[in-house]
Structures are given as structure tokens and as C-alpha cells.
Amino acid sequence: MLSLELTDWLRLVLTPEIGSRRGKSLLERFKTPKAILEASLDNIAEVENVGKEVAKKIVEGRKRIDLDRQIKLIERNNVRLIPLDSESYPSNLKSIYDPPLVLFIKGEILPQDYFSIAIVGTRLASFYGRTMSEKLSGELAEKGFTIVSGGARGIDTFSHQAALRAKGRTIAILGCGLDVTYPPDNKKLFEEIAQKGAIISEFPLSTRPDKGNFPMRNRIISGLSLGVVVIEAPHKSGALITVTHATEQGREVFSVPGPADSFVSKGTNQLLREGAKLVENADDIIEELEPLLKNKINELKANQPEPERKKQISIKPELTGEEAKVYNLLSSHSLDFDDIIVESQLSVSAASSVLMMLQLKKLVKQSPGKIFEKATIYDEG
């Protein structure tokens, strides 16, 4: 059963003429969905980018919402709502200019999903495109990154599948309601993603996969991610729309080079000419993102109380439960990756993510052969 607060958020996104940008302006003025839903026509019309005509449509439209039907669909399909003001709302996505007011989600968003990489490309993938998407997605998932894509045929599908095979996390962003399976042949894939990652949409349930939904969907793919990797894209391609969003959002753009005579490589090769980072393997991506990853770790450290910071970092690090478990395992001797999984009883993706975080915190170091050991820690205080 939806809380009263969530019900107000749902009513807000169901109201005609209130999209993400206009909704954000309304929230800045009225502070809460409830206040917007109760505001007068004149007060709504005063908000920037609204005006009298749009305000009239909003006031008239909010009376015609079929709220009960939407709530029944949400409950029947085990869908959760994450509103913009929730602590569970992904921080990467919240930082963009026009974040969705509400995320409809099946599955779970985890803190480790901050470390997400989007992989996108054509539906008409070649064997080379499939090979590269599976290679990059698998390598990144093994290293603890979450793979974000759009659930479409071709590159999207291969990337999701490879992340799952690597026992990693993956998130699919749909251009329709979560009760609408599109494309239909990905039904089983979406079910598996919901179990081991998340399926997300900004569209209310029963929304059809109309053509105009997908450019909107693409800003979420890039917004959730630290960077976007393009694998095979013709000149006019949805993947290139995602790149446009990524550029506006300040995300890194990566491109996999393709054969000069292939029409599905025209867009990716053009991106390289325009300055996108050339990618041949996962390390190319990680190397480029390393400063950003370190900044995030430094930000987390900076949020600790000053008197405790040195002590926690240098002597007794502030760790999550899973991080502490792995860190303690390595206290007496080094272990290879398989032994860490066995002894910690963590999944492959969870162990990869934890080890990545510990390495970024300079608490653990990796040697050839995926051997991990505790780094030397000096008392600074």
C-alpha cells in the first residue's frame, strides 16, 4: 500500500503537462507535491515556464487522473516508487538538470550502483559488436561496476547478458511502463535483471513504448552512469542521443572503433574524431575514470568528523559490514579472488565491488593472478 506521500508523488507524475523540468520548477516554488496539487491556477501560472494556458491544463488534468487504476497496477506488478526527495534516489541521476520526479522500479538500487558504466549501441549489432559488448561488460562487471543500458535488442541486450554471466549487477532503463515488455523477446532477461539488479522507468505503468519516449529514456541511462561507452552506432542513432545527454551532464564518453566500411561504425568513429576516448578493453575506461573514482572516495572520507578522520583512515578504517569482512580476511595473509568469495560467502559481484572500494581507499592492493593483500597502513596521528 502506497503511503500518502508517495500517492501525492504519483498523482503529480500522472498530471498532464507536468514533466521533469516543469515539475522541478513547481517543486522549487511549492516545495511538496501536495502543495502543487492543491495550488490555485493563478499561483501555478506564476511559475517560470508555466503560464496561464499550461496552468489551466494542469488544474483541469489533475481532476481526471485514474489514480486507483495506477495503484492497482503498481501493486499487482510489485513495482516500487522512488521519488526525487528520497535518500534512495540515485545520487548520479539526481545531479542532472532534469531528473525524473519519480522512478518506477523492479529490483533494487544499491549504493555500489554509484559506480555504473553505460554501454549502448545499435540494435543491428555485428558479430564484432556483440563480441566487444560482451567483453567490456563482462570485464567491468567482474571489477565491480554496474552495467547500465536500455534493454533494447542488440548491444543493450548483449551487455546486460554479459554482466549477468559475470555475476555482476546490471540496470535496464525502459521507455515504457514496467508492466509492458518491450522488446517482447527480452521478457526472461528483464525478469533476471529485476532479481539481480534493477529495471527502471520514469513512465507510469501501462505506458506504451512510443517512439518519443526513448530519447527521454536515454538521459536516464547517461545520468545514472559515470561514463557512456558506445559500441557500433550509425550516424542517426539513439546511442548518439545518449552521448548528447552525457555531454550535457558532464559524463565521460568512450567509443569502440569499428571497421571503416561498416555503416554501424560511422557514429562511433565520428565520436573518436570529435574527442571521445578510444576503448579496447575495460582498463581503458577505468584508467580514464580513476580521478573521478578517487574524488568520490575522498568525498566520503571528507564527510567523516574531522577529529576521527585520521584515526579511522590510518588505523581503524571506517568500513561497511562487507568491507570489514573482506578486510579482516586479509589481515593475516593474502588470498586469491576465489578464496575470498569462499571465505566471505559474498557473491562474485559483491566481492568485486568490495575489493574495488578497498583498493580505492588504499587499504588493499592487488598482485598479478588476482591475489589480494592488506596494504601497509601508517599511523598519521
User: In this structure, are residues 114 and 91 in contact, taking their beta carbons and an 8 Å threshold?
Assistant: yes
Question: What percent of the chain clears pLDDT 90, i.e. is strictly above it?
Answer: 70
Q: Give domain status of residue 22, yes or no.
A: yes
Q: Are 276 and 326 part of one and the same domain?
A: no
What is each CA distance from 98 to 20, 90, 215, 218, 369, in whole angstroms? 6, 13, 13, 12, 44
User: According to the model, what pLDDT value does residue 376 have?
Assistant: 60
Supply the pLDDT for residue 307: 43
379 or 306, which is more confident: 306
CA distance 135 to 244: 25
Distances (CA, A) of 296 to 94, 188, 310: 16, 35, 18
What is the C-alpha separation between 125 and 46, in angstroms, rounded?
49
Are 351 and 252 members of one domain?
no
CATH number of the domain within which 191 lies: 3.40.50.450
Residue where a domain terminates, one of 254, 287, 320: 287
305-323 pLDDT, tens digit each = 444 443 333 344 567 788 8
Q: How confident is the model at residue 187 (pLDDT cuts 50, 70, 90)?
A: very high
pLDDT digit string, tens, across residues 328-345: 888 777 888 888 888 888
283 with 327, same domain? no
Residue 276, domain member (yes or no): yes
Give one DSSP letter per residue of 64-108, joined into a string.
S--HHHHHHHHHHTT-EEEETTSTTS-HHHHTSSS--SEEEEEE-
Domain count, the chain: 3
Q: pLDDT higher for 235 or 101?
A: 101
Backbone region of residue 109 per phi and psi (left: phi > 0; alpha: psi in -120 to 50; beta: other values): beta
Q: How confident is the model at residue 44 (pLDDT cuts 50, 70, 90)?
A: very high
Q: Which domain holds residue 349?
A: 304-374
Task: Give the CATH number of the domain where residue 315 resides.
Answer: 1.10.10.10
What is the average pLDDT across 167-180? 96
- pLDDT tens digits, one per residue of 1-35: 789 999 999 999 999 999 999 999 999 999 999 99
Q: Which three cell numbers mark 39?
A: 495550488
Burial class (CB in 10 A: 0-12, 13-18, 19+), 104: buried
Query: Is residue 148 located within the same domain as residue 254?
Result: yes
Which among 47, 65, 83 is the end of a domain?
Answer: 65
| 116 shares a domain with 53 | no
Mean pLDDT of the chain: 89
Domain match, 229 and 113 both: yes
Q: 269 and 332, same structural domain? A: no
**Backbone angle region of 237, left / alpha / beta, with phi > 0 → left and psi within -120 to 50 → alpha:** beta
CA dihedral 253, 200, 106, 184 (to 10 degrees): -100
- Could you read off the pLDDT of 47-96 as tens digits, one per residue? 988 999 999 999 999 888 999 999 999 999 999 999 999 999 999 999 99
The grid cell for 34 is 501536495
pLDDT at 295 over 80: no
Confidence of residue 226 (pLDDT cuts 50, 70, 90): very high
- Which 3 state secondary structure label does DSSP give 208? coil
How do strand 252-255 and strand 277-278 relate by DSSP bridges? parallel
Show which of 65, 81, 108 is a domain's final residue. 65
